[in-house]
């Protein structure tokens, strides 16, 4: 079957101008001409033009399309390379989206915007170095805290969701907070000084029922709960001054998002109650 340019355009959904463009460049050569000298195309030209349209819709450039139709490469090989390129572009776009979303939400100034952009673009090695530096500064190189350091390490996936990228940016900013680092150092020192590491869990287990029962922190029942923790109120106040830092809880929340963990239970209500119960 022979087609005119107009018929070929109608069958493929392209414009006559586009068909002529591909034909002039030799991508869809005519199979002949009619008596009036007008170009005619056969079924092979129709199939080739349909392939070209599909590849162009997928973002393949004309030079690569020419190599395909000339038999120098295959559609499968080109598709594999373009898929890899698109994956890289998608990652870049996700990073940009995360940064712009965070900037818009926080109303960031130019300096903070620049910092967030740099944090989002860090490589895996650079991210690891940043986190390792933060944990080494906050926890030291104590062997007994190695397990704790591992549980505080974010592991951003290779293809993170927008939420994970956003959480990484905020967590990375927290690691640069000198006051937050100092707060974690004090907490580590308290652990070394004898405050049990499971004290937070003991507080949660002891105080949560009191909260649910509506027990006032300044009541005799509250005093009995504090006594049951086996620590002097002054020692508990010192611990609370460090552990009841909203940045610590926010870090754990962001860590859960990045690592795909369940959201951590908030200790803030129990810590606030105990703070009031141990007030001098």
Q: What is the mean pLDDT of each run of 10 residues along the chain (280 residues)?
A: 85 89 88 82 88 90 90 91 86 80 82 82 90 91 82 88 87 93 88 67 92 94 93 90 93 96 93 94
Do 57 and 172 fall within a single domain? Answer: no
Residue span of the structural domain in which 186 resides: 122-280
Is 127 a domain residue? yes
Do 160 and 258 fall within a single domain? Answer: yes
Do 139 and 227 fall within a single domain? Answer: yes
Is 175 a domain residue? yes
pLDDT for 208:
94
pLDDT for 73:
92
Neighbouring C-beta atoms of residue 248, cutoff 10 Å: 18
pTM across the whole model: 0.67
Burial 64-75 (b: 16+ CB within 10 A, else e): bbebbbeeeeee
CB 211 within 8 A of CB 273: yes
Phi, psi of 3, rounded to the nearest 5 degrees: -125, 145
Domain boundary among 73, 101, 132: 73
Do 166 and 264 fall within a single domain? Answer: yes
Do 150 and 261 fall within a single domain? Answer: yes
CATH number at residue 11: 1.10.1660.10
Domain boundary among 38, 56, 73: 73
Is 80 a domain residue? no
Question: Pick from 177, 94, 175, 166: which is nearest to 129 by CA?
Answer: 175
Is 279 a domain residue? yes
pLDDT for 251:
96
């Amino acid at each position: 079957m022979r087609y005119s340019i107009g018929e070929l355009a109608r069958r493929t959904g392209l414009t006559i101008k586009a068909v002529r463009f591909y034909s002039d460049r030799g991508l869809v050569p005519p199979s002949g001409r009619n008596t009036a000298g007008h170009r005619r195309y056969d079924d092979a030209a129709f199939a080739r033009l349909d392939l070209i349209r599909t590849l162009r819709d997928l973002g393949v450039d004309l030079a690569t399309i020419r190599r395909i139709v000339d038999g120098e490469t295959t559609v499968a090989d080109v598709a594999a390379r373009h898929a890899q390129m698109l994956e890289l572009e998608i990652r870049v776009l996700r990073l940009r989206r995360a940064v712009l979303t965070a900037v818009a939400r926080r109303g960031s100034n130019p300096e903070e915007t620049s910092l967030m952009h740099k944090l989002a673009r860090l490589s895996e090695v650079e991210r690891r170095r940043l986190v390792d530096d933060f944990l080494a500064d906050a926890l030291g190189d104590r062997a007994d805290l190695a397990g704790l350091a591992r549980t505080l390490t974010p592991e951003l996936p290779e293809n993170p969701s927008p939420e994970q990228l956003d959480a990484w940016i905020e967590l990375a900013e927290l690691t640069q907070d000198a006051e937050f680092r100092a707060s974690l150092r004090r907490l580590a020192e308290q652990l070394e000084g004898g405050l049990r590491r499971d004290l937070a869990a003991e507080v949660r287990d002891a105080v949560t029922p009191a909260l649910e029962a509506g027990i006032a922190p300044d009541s005799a029942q509250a005093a009995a709960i504090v006594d049951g923790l086996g620590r002097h109120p002054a020692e508990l106040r010192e611990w609370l001054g460090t552990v009841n830092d909203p940045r610590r809880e926010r870090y754990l929340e962001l860590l859960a998002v990045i690592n795909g963990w369940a959201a951590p239970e908030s200790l803030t209500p129990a810590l606030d109650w105990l703070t009031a119960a141990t007030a001098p």
